[in-house]
Structure 1
Amino acid sequence: MEPYQFYTPLPPATADRDTVKVWFFQRKLQVSALCSSHDPSSGFSLDEMTKLKAKLTFYESRVGLNEMTPAVAITQFQQWLDAYGDYGAWQNYLNDQTRKDTAERERQRVEAEARKIRDAENAARSTATGICAQYRGGLLSSRASETPVGRVVCGLAVIGSPGAAYQGFSGQDMHQYPTTPLITALVSGITLSEKWPPESCAEVDALKRWLNGPGAAINSVEKIPGETFVFHARVWHPGGKWGGKETSPGWKDRGACVYCQRWIKRIGARSV
């Protein structure tokens, strides 16, 4: 499928032959499509639009066959428009093309933003699975317990920053940086409902690493650009009962815990 062609103004008389030929060719295609879409509600004369199409085809052919110089083709076409030889067809074409171009630019903008988010989601997942590949035998919590408790690992990626990804591990004994007043403020007010403190989560570790790198100047929760963050976590399951079924040891995807759900939502980040 050919890429969308936005309207471009008539080239200068000094433009080369290929540039001028392509310009007439692209305008011809767009005017032809407009002719094909004509109906009683279109608001333009099909006869006049068809004449415009023929004019564009004529100059495209003459320039392409080297039967007319680009400068002459451009000058004559502009003179024809200035003399109102098109009876308004050119302006109707421009109005229609402007609407199409505006819609296409918005579509491309939305798609580009969506692509950035997808890329960040993939980077977060890839970072988490990369940790799992390093610890194929699993990671267990250091907390004393009758039953083994698997650690959570996390990938943090930044939307719009390809290659920027940060690891995270649950358990402050594996955190790369100590808990700061900023982190304490971030998790303050969260009801303690798990068997671990909110400061010990893998997502917190990943955020700490970002705060000690690109985010070193951040000094308040409100300044954390959470809307650009994507987290993805995985947990080591030691084996045994899982969701009511007997399972083998292995790494499994998991959503953010109730603690992280709270502060991730607070800063406008994503967890996938």
Structure 2
Amino acid sequence: MSMSMEPYQFFTDAPTATDRDTVMKWFRRRKVQVAALDDNYTPKSGFDRDAMSALRNKLNSCENGIATDRLTPADAVTGFQKWLADGSDHGAWDAYVADQTAKDTTERKRQEEAAALKRVSDAKEAARRTAMNICGRHSGGLLSNRPGDNPVGRVVCGLAVIGSPGVTFEGYSGQDMHQHPTSDLIRQLVRGITQSEKWPPEACAEVDALKRWLNSPGVNVASIEQIPRDTLVFHARVWHPGGRWGGKQTSPGWQDRGACVYCQNWIGRIGAISA
């Protein structure tokens, strides 16, 4: 049977608790970390190897004393602290703590960065899943009904909030399907964007999703500057009606779609992500 590796252990001071398991684990973890220093000693290590070996043996003795009931947990901690106070470690404990603190700082930063990346990854997946759910509900597609124009496939969008699992919003292209009217904030957001498509910038699915987020409980955003950067993730899909496309006969279906030139502009402006 394979045993899972214990998570990284940050340095902690000697426990004030007196239960056997807690104190034994503390001595064992310190022993393992001190042993790593001892085993990897070089002349440039900056500590006395004999002193580090003595510290390793002392930690091992305390752990074994508890395990064999020769020492109570409280006596083991008290005895070890007295041993340090008497200077019997010859500086090895301070050298170990300094080394472990530096390692802890590096590991803490690594864990924080990994957690931040996971929050972004989770939000991207949530936005994608939200868009896919819309497509699943409309497996036969969604077509626009722009006056005077042939029907074209609508765009749908999923919006997720980084660091807020389960908080997602839907969006649909075409203002006839938007849940909220266009606000002054949205007008300011798309102001200056040259209309290069058959639809206006405020008609996009991403805009609908953004409006739903802006109007959701707990969101108090009155200006573009108040929209938190590195927080919103959009994922869009478009209905392809099929037929001749690029010189080939194609089948109808939903396809992933990057942000249009309109949305690329304002998504970048608010520091959001198009996934």
Superposition TM-score tier, normalisation by shorter sequence: over 0.9
Deviations 1:106-144 (A, max 9, x none): 111111111111111111000000000000000111124
C-alpha deviation, 1:241, in angstroms? 3.9
Identify the residue that residue 85 of structure 2 maps to in structure 1: 82
Measure, in 1, the Cα distance between the counterparts of 2:253 and 2:68.
69
Measure, in 1, the Cα distance between the counterparts of 2:149 and 2:194.
26
- Decide which moves more: 168-177 or 215-224: 215-224
Structure 2 counterpart SS, 1:61: helix
Aligned amino acid, residue 7 of structure 2: P
Q: Where do 4+ consecutive residues of structure 1 move more than 6 Å?
A: none
Measure, in 1, the Cα distance between the counterparts of 2:135 and 2:250.
18
Measure, in 1, the Cα distance between the counterparts of 2:104 and 2:142.
53
Aligned residues: 271
Measure, in 2, the Cα distance between the counterparts of 1:207 and 1:53.
59
Structure 2 counterpart SS, 1:81: helix
C-alpha deviation, 1:173, in angstroms? 0.6
Length-normalised TM-score, structure 2: 0.94
Measure, in 2, the Cα distance between the counterparts of 1:195 and 1:53.
75
Identify the residue that residue 56 of structure 1 maps to in structure 2: 59
Deviations 1:173-207 (A, max 9, x none): 11111111111111001111111100100000001
Identify the residue that residue 48 of structure 2 maps to in structure 1: 45
Contact 1:148 1:238 (C-alpha < 8 Å) held by counterparts: no
- Decide which moves more: 69-78 or 113-122: 69-78
Aligned amino acid, residue 36 of structure 1: D
Aligned amino acid, residue 187 of structure 1: V
C-alpha deviation, 1:226, in angstroms? 4.1
Does 2:134 align with 1:131? Answer: yes
Does 2:30 align with 1:9? Answer: no
Does 2:202 align with 1:179? Answer: no
**Structure 2 gaps, min length 5:** none
Measure, in 1, the Cα distance between the counterparts of 2:170 and 2:57.
62
Matches within 5 A, 1:229-240: 229-240=232-243
Structure 1 counterpart SS, 2:160: strand
Identity, % of aligned pairs?
Answer: 61
Contact 2:161 2:167 (C-alpha < 8 Å) held by counterparts: yes
Measure, in 2, the Cα distance between the counterparts of 1:101 and 1:242.
57
Counterpart pick for 1:156 among 159, 173, 179: 159
C-alpha deviation, 1:148, in angstroms? 3.7
C-alpha deviation, 1:34, in angstroms? 1.2
C-alpha deviation, 1:240, in angstroms? 2.6
Structure 2 counterpart SS, 1:43: coil
Does 2:272 align with 1:269? Answer: yes
Aligned amino acid, residue 181 of structure 1: D
Does 2:104 align with 1:97? Answer: no
C-alpha deviation, 1:40, in angstroms? 2.1
Root mean square deviation, CA, Å: 1.5
Structure 2 counterpart SS, 1:41: coil
Contact 2:145 2:151 (C-alpha < 8 Å) held by counterparts: no
Measure, in 2, the Cα distance between the counterparts of 1:42 and 1:247.
68
C-alpha deviation, 1:145, in angstroms? 6.0
Does 2:30 align with 1:27? Answer: yes
Contact 1:171 1:201 (C-alpha < 8 Å) held by counterparts: yes
Measure, in 1, the Cα distance between the counterparts of 2:231 and 2:269.
13
Structure 2 counterpart SS, 1:227: coil
Measure, in 1, the Cα distance between the counterparts of 2:195 and 2:104.
53
Length-normalised TM-score, structure 1: 0.95
**Structure 1 gaps, min length 5:** none
Matches within 5 A, 1:213-252: 213-214=216-217, 217-242=220-245, 245-252=248-255
